[in-house]
Structure 1
């Protein structure tokens, strides 16, 4: 049987606590950034470094929860699938881009022609019949 189908639906209290702690750490980093913004003795790179550390710590804490493990699994599976992708060559990419540009120009001209014809029919011909 597939173990993924048997997983519990809700989060445990420990996971909720970890996510709350991660949120507190993240908010503390952001608040610290703005709190020390008026203090000239604290260099701006230290404030930015503090936010980066807070974000990294919050992500590390959140990574050890059930949703964090699911996300890590998803990222690992995505990376595995990305290795299977056959990317187009530069020549194929340039040719495809050229075709798309030509189609866009042709459709733009066609839409402009239709717009001009409808304007001519409605404004110049139909509205003048009423006079």
Structure 2
């Protein structure tokens, strides 16, 4: 059984990029709240530009590149999925609903049987 190990090496520059991205998000949020008197356009403009800049910096880091690769691999896997037809989906939904109804009836009957057994037969408490 062969296992492959992935070793992640984080450089100082990569850590700095992540720090800058985090600082840009914090600055964008601070700018949003500090520019409250300037109007909503200024607030939202600073927020959108700051988060976009943080996103660009993050995507240039190793973590961002791994995130992009993960997204590509995930999309390839989603394309491999064989989705059920409408008829199959309706049939499976009907099976689940029928099973739930049967189980509900079974549990209700079990509850009532145990209630009758304990309260009426064993304890003799008549309702």
For 1:107 and 1:52, how far apart are their aligned partners in 2? 52
For 1:115 and 1:106, how far apart are their aligned partners in 2? 14
Equivalent residues in 2 for 1:18-57 (5 A)?
18-37=17-36, 39=37, 41-43=38-40, 46-57=42-53
Partner residue, 1:16:
15
Unaligned regions of 5+ residues in structure 1, if any? none
Partner residue, 1:81:
77
User: Which fold has the larger relative contact order, with Cα–Cα distance below 8 Å and residues 6 or more apart in sequence?
Assistant: 1
User: 1:128 is paired with a residue of what secondary structure?
Assistant: coil
Q: Quote the offset at 1:106 in angstroms.
A: 1.5
Aligned counterpart in structure 2 of residue 62 of structure 1, from 58, 63, 73: 58
Write out per-residue CA displacement over residues 40-86 of structure 1, whole angstroms, 9 at most, x where no aligned residue: x412x553454333333222211111121111111111111211211
CA RMSD of aligned residues (A): 2.4
The number of equivalent residue pairs is 122
